[in-house]
Structure 1
Amino acid sequence: MEITPTLLPDVKLLSPRVFSDDRGFFFESWNADTFARAGIDFAFVQDNHSRSQRNVLRGLHYQLPGAQGKLVRVTNGAAFDVVVDIRRSSPDFGRWYGVELSAENKRMLWVPPGFAHGFLALADDTDFLYKCTAPYQPECEHCLLWNDPKIGIAWPMDNGAALLSGKDSEGKLLCEAPVYP
């Protein structure tokens, strides 16, 4: 497993060692010892799977209280995955990081607790998998506005039109949202 630091020190990009031949491929997507050595020493309690069509934008979601760490990856299609540091005490508060995750590149992203998370589907039938460190609690869920100009995420949209849920279209600006200490 190759573990690459990102512009946000607690966020890690993971590239598994893939064994491929004419039959297909195999790779290890989770190993507690390997991840613990990389500083990802959490117990996962819930797995989620979503499917999205091209230009569907989900996020930027987080829970407060009940912060979730997430190990995310794409198993079909491709997505532009984004995290935003929303820990007020962090020197990176309000900064974002984005990376393409795809079935082809098999990369994973570690989203630590204290970050908002979202993604833009870059292909139809994009399957996105999340391993979460805390269970989903709808009463604790919050959403940052995906296009908050203060954050300034450069979403790679085909035509500039994101397909959003009602909840995601009503996200809050970072300056109005509850955040972590």
Structure 2
Amino acid sequence: MKKDQEIKYLRDLGEELERLSIQESIDRKNALIKFIIIAAAVLIGLFFAMKGFRNQAFFLTLFVVVGVEFFDKITFLWFTCTYHRWPVTEGKIITQPKVVEVVRTRSGVFCSACSSFLPADTTPPIRYKVAVKYEYEVGMDTYTGRRISFSEQIWYSQKDAQKQADEFKRGGEVTVRYHPMWPKISIAES
């Protein structure tokens, strides 16, 4: 029994490290894109300043730098608005969907099962989320995903969360939409 628990713990740890590696890769790409945009804005600003358009150069650079700070939010909004046009493939649920309690902290809410941090608000301290893991293939590569919605679906009652969890069954088929450029980014549809 203890050996099975150790194996499960090591498997879960490996999955968490894989998820963190994917997130780190996405974060590095976003940081590089931000750096390139800011560098381009500064160069364009210097160009305009040398041509005598100092006010325009300042406001252009300021606009771009502020815009870059909202890049993550704009990217998330873009994904949310366009994911329905992403390519579709068939996937398979590889874990039994479960309802997990979301833990409230001073500055927000932390979901231990999905390792995501949600900002604080004035909602009740006990909330629930559905945790599911699915596998899908794109070309010759196999990927795993956990996202079933781009908005964090947090339920106030365990019964409502269980209804969503019942839409997914272990070993069941699921339609997966994946980002055409980054197939690791996906969303499952029941």
TM-score strictly above 0.5: no
Whose radius of gyration is greater, 1 or 2?
2
Greater relative CO, 1 or 2 (CA 8 Å, sep 6+): 1
| Range into which the TM-score falls when normalised by the shorter chain | under 0.3
* Greater percentage in strand: 1
Q: Normalising by structure 1, what TM-score?
A: 0.23
* Greater percentage in helix: 2
